[in-house]
Amino acid sequence: GTVTIKAGSTVLCTIILVKGRGSCSPPANALPAGHDEVVAYYNGDSTYSPAQSRPRQLEVIGLPGGGGD
């Protein structure tokens, strides 16, 4: 199955599970500075039903000057 990590309607990343595990690293600019609720959505498979996590608070802190360019 896969897990999609979203903040509102913004997809931060999608994880393809291998033996029930996986990880992802959203790009640094995926969300603007501020607070967001992040939810993980599991699409289900032949054994497990689709599910979603409880919302988790995420704080994105912007860098002075807008970044390291």
- Token output for 61: 């802190």
Structure tokens belonging to residue 2: 């896969």
Q: pLDDT tens for residues 14-60?
A: 999 999 899 999 988 899 999 999 999 999 999 999 999 999 999 99
pLDDT (0 to 100) of residue 16:
95
Reading phi first (left if > 0) and then psi (alpha if -120 to 50, else beta), residue 15 is in beta
Class of residue 5 by CB neighbours under 10 A (exposed 0-12, middle 13-18, buried 19+)? buried
